[in-house]
Amino acid sequence: MMIRSRMFVLAGMSLMLAAFTMVTGGCATTGINAGQMNLISSAEEVKMGQDLSLEVEKEFEVYQDSEVAAYIDRVGQRLARVSDRPDIRYSFKVIRKDEMNAFALPGGYIYIYTGLLSELDDEAQLAGVLAHEIGHVTARHSTERLSTMYGYQILADLILGENPNMWAEMVVNIFSTGGFLAYSRKNEYEADKLGVWYSSSAGYDPSGVSELLGKLQSMHEREPGKLEELLSTHPPTSDRIDQVGLIIGTFPAGKGERNRSDYEAMKKRLP
């Protein structure tokens, strides 16, 4: 009886979501990503991020230095407050891994690697990294990608709890593609743009975003294999530098905080 009831629920959900998709195209109707395919609600997105973050933290070591953690969170929350989704509860954590990488999970769960922190020069560049990842969250790029890939079925699984192993499978996907669900080039350009806006709005020098991209390009030229996987899912760095440069050119030059001394003090505590 329970199995039959659950089958009816799933069938009904399938029909409702199919009808919704036919009428609205399954698109977001508000926000910065209005008109883009997204069948997952904000509340479901946050729940998804919570579950995925648990799997990530089973797989990778979160760096436990309390001062480093507080510093990263302070910068991240400052940026989150000026974002297009200040209402969700963001989490910023450091993964102890010697790689140049950072990523965002659905619902505001953002991670940055110690290897990337070691390569940055000041707080403005850190803000550029975190603001870019916040841009992925505010534009809902991960749930947009999931909606395109899985449609209503993932919603049914999420709501009814039919696939408890799904989160672990997604974490494998994150790190097999060099980034969460291999964002499209359009997504990366959008996150770059939002990163510049959020950095500037939070009072940082937005050129930190372009400086970060410059560092990635220089490292790729010196050690082509080191960033090959990461850059394979991102637009060419030179193109991104050009695009970001055009946006930064609309802001007053030399304005915004850099906070080099605070950043250098934090770097001394890295492994």
pLDDT in tens, 81-96: 999 999 999 999 999 9
Asked whether residue 205 is assigned to any structural domain, the reply reads yes
- Is 53 a domain residue? yes
User: What residues does 27 pair with on adjacent strands?
Assistant: 37
Which pLDDT tens digit goes with each residue over 229-255? 455 445 557 888 899 999 999 988 888
The better pLDDT of the pair 102, 177 is held by 102
Average model confidence (pLDDT) across the chain: 80
Q: Is residue 222 part of a domain?
A: yes
**65 in a structural domain:** yes
Q: Tell me if 170 is assigned to some domain.
A: yes
Q: Is the pLDDT of residue 140 over 90?
A: yes
- As for how many domains the chain has, the answer is 1
For residue 1, tell me if it sits in a domain.
Answer: no
pTM: 0.82
Over residues 128-139, mean pLDDT = 97
**Residue 14 lies inside a defined structural domain of this protein:** no
Domain-located, residue 13: no
pLDDT in tens, 5-38: 443 333 343 333 333 333 333 454 344 665 455 6
Structural domain of residue 82, as residue ranges?
Answer: 41-267
